[in-house]
Structure 1
């Protein structure tokens, strides 16, 4: 649409004017890590904030200056999808824990657009999901339980990325996957094998349920190890 085109043009103009460099890495667009000329401290723990409720057509030309108003950014990562829109969440990392705290205090609830308020909170870079004492899941319930776990821990809903890998001689179809959970710094990756279904849609749904089952097992393992 016209509005989205104007937003993209504004981003491109800002990148050229400010000589800002962005790199595309694994479904995210990244600034810094650190940026050129950085002379501040190397970030330690608790220096990153998680930003959600971002309008899908808002880009770095709006977000980086806003979060830089608190202090110099060591890194900024905007999660992107294949259409070119953002996924609605991002991560901003500062050189100190104090700046990250200030960003939460100043920018949580900030109105980026009319009736659009950002949610800014501490990033859980090294936290494990806590699943508590959930009942044993049936295969049909796995996806619902993953959503329940995310909601119970204050995280966003998971994004599933599936890629067809190959059809095996034994008849199974192999998929590789990546699952991004807003609020968790790293993605869950793995592979599943399912039997061919009557349609591509049915096969993808079965693969997604198998992935959810693996996620629950890994969450439980992480909680036990924590």
Structure 2
């Protein structure tokens, strides 16, 4: 490929390395870099990238803003890109400038990219904790099980301040440390105090989710609500919601379908029923995806009060897990 020849020439000229890891290709860091990696906030998310556009075109554009520390281009198995990437700059100022100067840049005729500060999620959600455990106990357990942990956040029960709510948010020093911890804990079927512990990404701050959604999506008319939700979850690292199908009927009304939506990483009880019934399973899925998308982009997930009914409506006829 011509692009690979150009990229190899750039590698030889600059000394940058290129490494393929799983489904991403890393360009950088610079050979003369000394000290720790750039601080949080130096990484930007790049969305709406043409799937046949590679580092040979992208790197020169990114370098017009400042010194590029690393580019991570998300790849498909067939060799095309997945349409998005992450670029880390040497300084916070350069990362901010990249958003200002490159967002909506026409990188090819009629193709504008979206750029925003990366979510850079560093928090894991763990659920299923014994409610009598204190923060210090959870900190000791998690620091022994994983590396790079810097903090634990827990909430107490409203009716008994001596008990926790059964879940906690674990903060790590970097996204990489959080990702490695999550991978390890999922692989070993993590247990604490004789209980299997749920592990997932915590929902990031709501404003960064909304910004990433705006930068990632192509023209909204081209995507269904299910497509928008998949793109949002993929680009922000949010775990995909779980949908559970229910049938609903009442006196004098036809039967209708709806999905209960459960959003991992938001704490226990974060299960919501959309307000509208549908006559088909496909329609119910679209309504549920729209509902989940709006929650994730327009509300602060950590302060959101889910609908109190975590059980099916009284007139529910059946339920079954939908995949």
CA apart distance, 1:22: 1.5
**Secondary structure of residue in 2 paired with 1:63:** helix
* Structure 1: 5+ residue stretches without partners: 1-8, 129-148, 161-178, 193-211
CA separation in 2, counterparts of 1:56 and 1:112?
12
Corresponding residue for 2:234? 181
**Secondary structure of residue in 1 paired with 2:78:** coil
Deviations 1:56-112 (CA, angstroms, capped at 9, x unpaired): 100000011110111111111111111111111111001111000111111111111
Matched, 1:22 2:18: yes
Contact 2:239/2:265 (CA < 8 Å) preserved in 1? Answer: no
**Secondary structure of residue in 1 paired with 2:265:** helix
CA separation in 2, counterparts of 1:82 and 1:105?
32
* Structure 2: 5+ residue stretches without partners: 124-205, 217-227, 243-259, 271-300, 304-323
Corresponding residue for 1:12? 4
CA apart distance, 1:13: 1.2
The CA RMSD over aligned residues, in Å, is 3.5
CA separation in 2, counterparts of 1:219 and 1:10?
46
CA separation in 2, counterparts of 1:26 and 1:187?
19
Contact 1:73/1:95 (CA < 8 Å) preserved in 2? Answer: yes
CA apart distance, 1:42: 3.2
TM-score with structure 2 setting the length: 0.41
**Secondary structure of residue in 2 paired with 1:153:** helix
2:27 paired residue among 3, 28, 31: 31
Corresponding residue for 1:115? 110
Corresponding residue for 2:172? none
Matched, 1:69 2:116: no
Corresponding residue for 1:195? none
Corresponding residue for 2:99? 104
Change in 2 beyond 3 A, CA 1:28/1:69 = same
CA apart distance, 1:117: 0.5
Matched, 1:90 2:90: no
Which of these two proteins has the greater Rg computed from alpha carbons? 2
Greater RCO, CA 8 A, separation 6+: 1
1:124 paired residue among 100, 106, 119: 119
